Structure formats: structure tokens, C-alpha cells
């Protein structure tokens, strides 16, 4: 019995001895926006795997592309002097899709942590090539999540991922995140919040010296940190400050890339153009892992023309540009563009966000928030002070378990419930997600 028997697989993010009251959901198959568990229950997939099954499960077009590639060539390297057609096809496709961002070159990897690590290393190389090797620091935001490698862990703004893994990378400066519901100034006015955050950014740059900072890395909408949607003028004003100091902007689009927020990129929702973009998850929608770090002409030109050894990128993985993963990504991007999944995420997302508001009448729901098809339910012990529930109380898990009994998979994340369904979600399914959550919350009220 997969659910209860002791197994050698150790769940990430869980203690060595799993809570026996917490039953493991064993998923055995998927079709469209639904999965089926080991007991044969068909469940609406409110989490899209882990923010990534954006085109839904079991898509024939993607499977066919994978099979065709497997029949031709499962794997070959794409290092110095060796490549295969798919790696060029996918790089061209990405640069074409990201023309607005002045995208110019692509480096591949296997997952979001790779994409972030590549972005961080690339930003340092940029400054070495550009003749300012003293620019080594990174600015990032509290609550942020940038993957599990040591660079991404170090720039990540959630201390729970720092425990047991130090010492971390030096030279990381955390700034407050654009979080209206909880911020150090206790302001509820978005314009005022942005003013505070921009002042903090400027002061920190002044104090450290802009000439010591390589890049600012952030998610356009923080995901794992609780789906934090910045005020309208936040990103344009951040970009303006960074430009004044020459600091590169790295956009971690691992969750937000390819449609989730209702725009093709998260950053497009604010009309800003990052210098370096990290993609994974939705790029191949879980069919075969793949990551891409895409950078603009400014970065590419400086490195290409860099002196000495600085024009060689000594960074790549065995699976950088894996042919079968690239074939899967090309098929996924075909669906994303043909079916306008960013547009669908915007429309169905508006229904979802609107319906979720009604849940705020429940005892533990402090706020629901999100953009497109990413949303969070913020669980509070006290609606007045907005103090979070005790994460060890297991309340998020109890809500998720009850939602599952109502036929919907949602993700418990400590003091939040996270939603990130496939971007193929239909409006009725969005309403069904909220109905199940309403019933689940009623049980714990």
C-alpha cells in the first residue's frame, strides 16, 4: 500500500518521521485538468502539479512530440562544437517570443534552480566582461523563493530554507517585499507602500554603493512566499532606480513565465523589461524537465565582446538543451500560443480571484489574493492583527485534506493555501475549486 507503508523515499519539506495523521495523496494518472488517485478518485487539479502542468495532463500533442524525438535521438550533448537541431529551434523560439524584452541569447538547464543559478552567475560574468569586477552583490526580496541551489537559497528571502544549509553566499541584501497585507509601515495604501519601498531601495544602494551591486533578483509576483502581487507602479519605479545605478534586473519567471499571471511574462503585467529572465516549470509544463535563462542584448553584447577569458561562458550542465525536453517544450509553447493560455489565465483567473473573495467571511481567512491563475488564501489566527495561524497547528493541511474530500487538490503551505491550476482551466472549474474550498473551510471554522 503506497499510502501507509514505510518507504525509502523521503518527502522534501517534511520531517524525517512524517506525521502519521497526514495521509499521502498518491496520484496515479492525469487527464486534462484532473488527476486520479490510488483509490480511483477523480480530483480537479488545483495546483497543476507544482505550478507547472500549465497545458493540463496527458496532452497528445506533447506526447507525440516526445515520442518522435525519442525515435530520432533521445539525448546528445550541446556543448562546445556539438549540438542537435532542437536546441537551436527552442532558443530561436524563445528569442522570438521575447522580442519585446530584447531577448538575444539562451542558456539551458533542467529546473528552476538551475535557471536561477545560471542567471546569478551570468550577471557576475557580465560585470567582469564590462570591466567592473567589483559588482558582486545581489539585492533580493523578503518572502522570495529562488530555488534550492546554494545561490538561489542565499538570495531566497525565507529563512526556513536557510536553516541547516549555511554558511550561505555572502553579499546578499534583502529588501522588504511589496506586500500590502503585511508591511513594516502598516500602510494599506499601494502608492504609499511603493514610496516606502523605493526609498528603502535607494537608501540601501546609496549605503552599499551601486558599484558593488551586480543585480536585483525577484519574482514579478512572489509565488511560494504567498502570491504577493506588487502595486501597479512598483516594478516600473524599481527598474528606474536600477537603471540609474546600472544594476541588472533578473526576473525569476519560473512560476510566472508563459502565462500564469494572464500575461505571457509576469514582468509584462507591469510593463518592465528585465535584463535576464529565468524560466522552468511552465516552459515544458512538467512533461520533461527543462529550464532556460534568457538574456538581452546588453548582457549578450558585453560578454561577447569581453576581454580575455570573460567572453567564454564556463557554465553548462549535462542536460543543458536536452533534445527530448526541448521537443516537449516546443510542443508546449505551441499550445500556449495557439490556445492563448495567457489570455485564458487572465479571463478565468478573474473569475477565480473574484469568487475567492467570498471566502474572506470564514474564520481563518485573512485575505485571498492573486493574479491570473495563481492565488493564495492567507490564514490568520486574528483578523484584526493579521497574525498568521501557527504553521505547526496543521490547519492548512486539514483544509487541504477536506478540499480533497470535496474533489479538489489544493496546496497547504504552512500559513497559506496555494492555488495554481493548469492554465487550461475553465470558468466552471474555477467556481468548483472555490465551492470545494468553501466547504473545506466550513469544516474547520
Residue among 391, 255, 291, 313 at smallest CA distance from 126? 313
Which residue, 98 or 380, is less far from ligand PMP as judged by CB? 98
CA pair distance 247, 239, nearest whole angstrom = 9
Q: Give the residue, chosen from 34, 108, 126, 145, that forms a contact with ligand PMP under the rule CB under 6 A.
A: 145
Nearer to ligand PMP, 120 or 433 (CB): 120
Nearer Cβ to ligand PMP, position 101 or 219?
A: 219
Q: How many residues bind ligand PMP (CB under 6 A)?
A: 15
Which stretch in 105-113, 367-375, 377-385, 409-417 sits in contact with ligand PMP by CB under 6 A?
Answer: 105-113
Tell me whether residue 150 or residue 427 sits nearer to ligand PMP (CB atom).
Answer: 150
Give the residue, chosen from 30, 46, 49, 147, that forms a contact with ligand PMP under the rule CB under 6 A: 147
CA 219, CA 11: separation in Å to the nearest integer?
26
Smallest distance from the beta carbon of 337 to ligand PMP, in angstroms?
Answer: 22
Candidate list 116, 214, 326, 380; residue touching ligand PMP; CB under 6 A: 116
The answer to whether 113 contacts ligand PMP (rule: CB under 6 A) is yes
Interface with ligand PMP includes 266 (CB under 6 A)?
no
Nearest-5° angle of CA 9, CA 15, CA 20? Answer: 80
Shortest gap between Cβ of 224 and ligand PMP (angstroms)? 5
Should residue 224 be labelled a site residue for ligand PMP when binding is judged by CB under 6 A?
Answer: yes
**Shortest CB 276 distance to ligand PMP, Å:** 13
**What are the phi and psi torsion angles at 247 (to 5°)?**
-75, 135
The number of beta carbons lying within 10 Å of the beta carbon of residue 131 is: 10
Interface with ligand PMP by CB under 6 A: which range of 217-225, 242-250, 334-342, 417-425? 217-225
Number of other CB atoms surrounding residue 246 within 10 Å: 13
Backbone angles phi, psi at 106, to 5 degrees: -135, 135
Question: Which residues touch 246 (CB under 8 Å, ≥6 apart)?
Answer: 210
Segments in 296-426 forming alpha helices (H)? 297-304, 323-338, 341-356, 395-405
Element (H, E) at 51: helix 48-51
Residue with smaller CB distance to ligand PMP, 111 or 344: 111
For residue 62, the Cα-to-chain-centroid distance in whole angstroms is 22
Is residue 112 a contact point for ligand PMP (CB under 6 A)? yes
Contact between 125 and ligand PMP by CB under 6 A: the answer reads no
Query: 3-class secondary structure for 361-373?
Result: HCCCEEEEEEECC
Stretch that binds ligand PMP, among 143-151, 170-178, 371-379, 405-413 (CB under 6 A): 143-151
Q: Which is nearer to ligand PMP, 306 or 370 (CB)?
A: 370
Among 146, 239, 404, 411, binds ligand PMP (CB under 6 A): 146
Residue 294: beta bridge partners? 106, 277
Contact pattern for ligand PMP over residues 238 through 257, marking x by CB under 6 A: --------------x-xx--
User: Phi and psi for 49 in degrees, rounded to 5?
Assistant: 75, -95
Radius of gyration (C-alpha) of the chain in whole angstroms: 22
Work out whether 108 is an interface residue with ligand PMP (CB under 6 A). Answer: no
Return the residue matching grid coordinates 537541431.
Answer: 85
Question: Which residues bind to ligand PMP, rule: CB under 6 A?
Answer: 111-113, 116, 145-148, 219, 223-224, 252, 254-255, 280
Amino acid at each position: 500500500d503506497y499510502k501507509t507503508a514505510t518507504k525509502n523515499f523521503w518527502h522534501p519539506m517534511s520531517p524525517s518521521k512524517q506525521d502519521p495523521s497526514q495521509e499521502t495523496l498518491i496520484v496515479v494518472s492525469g487527464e486534462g485538468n484532473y488527476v486520479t488517485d490510488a483509490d480511483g478518485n477523480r480530483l480537479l487539479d488545483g495546483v497543476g502539479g507544482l505550478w507547472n502542468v500549465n497545458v493540463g495532463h496527458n496532452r497528445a500533442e506533447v506526447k507525440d512530440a516526445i515520442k518522435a524525438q525519442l525515435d530520432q535521438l533521445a539525448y546528445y550533448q550541446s556543448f562546445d562544437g556539438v549540438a542537435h537541431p532542437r536546441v537551436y529551434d527552442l532558443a530561436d523560439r524563445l528569442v522570438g517570443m521575447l522580442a519585446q524584452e530584447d531577448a538575444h541569447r539562451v542558456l539551458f538547464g533542467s529546473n528552476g534552480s538551475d535557471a536561477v543559478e545560471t542567471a546569478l552567475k551570468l550577471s557576475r560574468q557580465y560585470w567582469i566582461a564590462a570591466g567592473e569586477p567589483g559588482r558582486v552583490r545581489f539585492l533580493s526580496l523578503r518572502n522570495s523563493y529562488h530555488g534550492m541551489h546554494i545561490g538561489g537559497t542565499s538570495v531566497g528571502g525565507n529563512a526556513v530554507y536557510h536553516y541547516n544549509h549555511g554558511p550561505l553566499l555572502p553579499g546578499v541584501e534583502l529588501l522588504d517585499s511589496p506586500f500590502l497585507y503585511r508591511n513594516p509601515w502598516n500602510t494599506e495604501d499601494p502608492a504609499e507602500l511603493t514610496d516606502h519601498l523605493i526609498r528603502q531601495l535607494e537608501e540601501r544602494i546609496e549605503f552599499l554603493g551601486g558599484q558593488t551591486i551586480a543585480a536585483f533578483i525577484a519574482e514579478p509576483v512572489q509565488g511560494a512566499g504567498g502570491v504577493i502581487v506588487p502595486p501597479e507602479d512598483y516594478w516600473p519605479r524599481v527598474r528606474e532606480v536600477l537603471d540609474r545605478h546600472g544594476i541588472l534586473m533578473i526576473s525569476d519567471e519560473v512560476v510566472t513565465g508563459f502565462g500564469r499571471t494572464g500575461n505571457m511574462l509576469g514582468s509584462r503585467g507591469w510593463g518592465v523589461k528585465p535584463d535576464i529572465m529565468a524560466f522552468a516549470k511552465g516552459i515544458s509544463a512538467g512533461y520533461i524537465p527543462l529550464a532556460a535563462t534568457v538574456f538581452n542584448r546588453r548582457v549578450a553584447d558585453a560578454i561577447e565582446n569581453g576581454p580575455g577569458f570573460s567572453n567564454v561562458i564556463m557554465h553548462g550542465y549535462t542536460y543543458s538543451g536536452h533534445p527530448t525536453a526541448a521537443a516537449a517544450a516546443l510542443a508546449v509553447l505551441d499550445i500556449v500560443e495557439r490556445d492563448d493560455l495567457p489570455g485564458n489565465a487572465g479571463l478565468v483567473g478573474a473569475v477565480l480571484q473574484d469568487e475567492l473573495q467570498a471566502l474572506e467571511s470564514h474564520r481563518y481567512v485573512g485575505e485571498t489574493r492573486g493574479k491570473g491563475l495563481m492565488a493564495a488564501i492567507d490564514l490568520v489566527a486574528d483578523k484584526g492583527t493579521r497574525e498568521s495561524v501557527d504553521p505547526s497547528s496543521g490547519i492548512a493541511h486539514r483544509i487541504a485534506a477536506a478540499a480533497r474530500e470535496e474533489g479538489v487538490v489544493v496546496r497547504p503551505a504552512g500559513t497559506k493555501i496555494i492555488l495554481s491550476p493548469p492554465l487550461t482551466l475553465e470558468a466552471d472549474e474555477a467556481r468548483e475549486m472555490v465551492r470545494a474550498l468553501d466547504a473545506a473551510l466550513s469544516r474547520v471554522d
